[in-house]
Structures are given as structure tokens and as C-alpha cells.
Amino acid sequence: SAVISQKPSRDICQRGTSLTIQCQVDSQVTMMFWYRQQPGQSLTLIATANQGSEATYESGFVIDKFPISRPNLTFSTLTVSNMSPEDSSIYLCSVSGVTSQNIQYFGAGTRLSVL
Amino acid sequence: DAKTTQPNSMESNEEEPVHLPCNHSTISGTDYIHWYRQLPSQGPEYVIHGLTSNVNNRMASLAIAEDRKSSTLILHRATLRDAAVYYCILRVYYGQNFVFGPGTRLSVLP
């Protein structure tokens, strides 16, 4: 398995500001992903974080709003830019390629509230 | 990704077996059937996955229909800690994306 640390675990932010969420894994992994879980909803994939190249975004998510970095095989960041109350969600980091490409491991998530 | 259908919620008594169904009538030959669960205030965690044959691990069993159009996650003795949302997901082995549906919210009664 993998131990995934996300920081911060929660934050309350003002409208128009940006927040950067960090994801640290205790071992090198092939794939890293970022998900959003809106209140009472299921998970939606935002993007795949690619090491050494630009992230691959899913439909409905754009780089200007959710810039992602992945400088190495154990670390990634997701920035939520120019926040509005609609961005209030839980943001989750996940990884695969630890024991198998077929299993994903998830962090505990970052609970974001935008006022 | 092919779609899955699960009941919105189920209830079980503690220490009794639980059978969580999942329908996936449009499954393709290369789709693996995955189950994850999300405990309150946590990220999802892997439970089990399989392709054609029934699978067992320390957490659960996965029973896959012969035509693969449905599957059942079996918790042999439910505990209060098993109260969670259970997601049934189809995923091509070499594909990287999971598509999470609404899942089944399992309540376990003492």
C-alpha cells in the first residue's frame, strides 16, 4: 500500500483568493490523480498529474482554474485559483502503480470552504 | 467507461452477512470490476477487484455473474466500522481513470 499525506486537511478561504494543496506519497508512484467531491456527491476526476509534463485535464476542468504541478514521482500540488463559493468541496489526491497499476490509493482529502 | 447501477442505500445488522449488488450490463471483455469504499471523512479505500472468477481477500468476497453483467460484494460479517459508501467501478486494466458513480450507502445497525 501507500501512505498519502495531504496538506492542508481543511481550510476556509475568501472569495477571489487561491489555495495550493500538497500531496506527498511515501514511495515513488507511476500515476497521481486529483479528484473533487462536492458536498453530498460522488468523486469527479479533475486531472492526471504527469511527472515532467503538463497535467491531463478532464472535461469541464481547465488549467487556469486548477493548475497542477508534479516535480517528481512522490509529490504533486493542486491550486484552486480565484475561488468562489462553488469551489467549496473536498479535494482528494490518489496514486496508482504502487503494488499494481490497477489499484488506486487515496489521501484523506482537503476540505475547502470558500466564503 | 461502462456504467454501473447500485442501490442508493442498504441496511444490515451487525455480525450478519451483507450482499451489495452492482449491475453492469454494458461491461466489455476487458473491464475489471472494482469495489472501493469511503468511510466517513476519509478518502476511498480499495476493497477488491476481479475480472471473471470469484475473488476473496481478507476484507470481502466478490461474486461475478457468469455473463459478467452483474456482481455482488459480500461482507461476511458486518461490523459498525463497515458503515460506508461502497462504489462499484468498471475499469480497463491498462486504463487509468476511475469513474465513480453515486455508490451504495451501507448502514450497519448494532
3-state secondary structure of B104: strand
What residue type is assigned to position A91 of the chain? Y
Average pLDDT of chain B is 91
Q: Enumerate the β-bridge partners of residue B37.
A: B45, B86
Q: Which of A25, A65, A31 is nearest to A48 (CA)?
A: A31
Shortest CA distance from B92: residue in chain A: A102
pLDDT for residue A110 is more than 60: yes
Residue with cell 461475478: B64
Mean of the per-residue pLDDT values for chain A?
93
Number of other residues whose CB lies within 10 A of the CB of residue A50: 14
Average pLDDT over residues A50-56: 86
User: How many CB atoms lie under 10 A from the CB of residue A73?
Assistant: 17
Residue A103 to residue B46, Cβ atoms within 8 A: yes
To the nearest whole angstrom, how far is the Cα of B94 from the nearest Cα of chain A?
Answer: 7
For residue B94, what pLDDT is reported?
56
What mean pLDDT is predicted for residues A32-51?
A: 93
Q: With an 8 Å Cβ cutoff, is B50 touching chain A?
A: no
Q: Which three cell numbers, joined as nine digits, stand for B80?
A: 459498525
Q: Which residues contact A37 (CB under 8 A, 6 or more apart)?
A: A43, A44, A89, A90, A91, A92, A109
CA distance A97 to chain B (A): 10
Probe site for chain A from B100, B104, B105 (most A CB atoms < 10 A): B100
CA distance A58 to chain B (A): 10
Per-residue confidence in pLDDT tens, chain B, 110 aa: 568 999 999 999 999 999 999 999 988 888 889 999 999 999 999 999 999 999 999 999 999 999 999 999 999 999 999 999 999 998 865 556 788 889 999 999 99
Helices and strands counted in chain B (H then E) = 0, 9
**pLDDT score, position B2:** 62
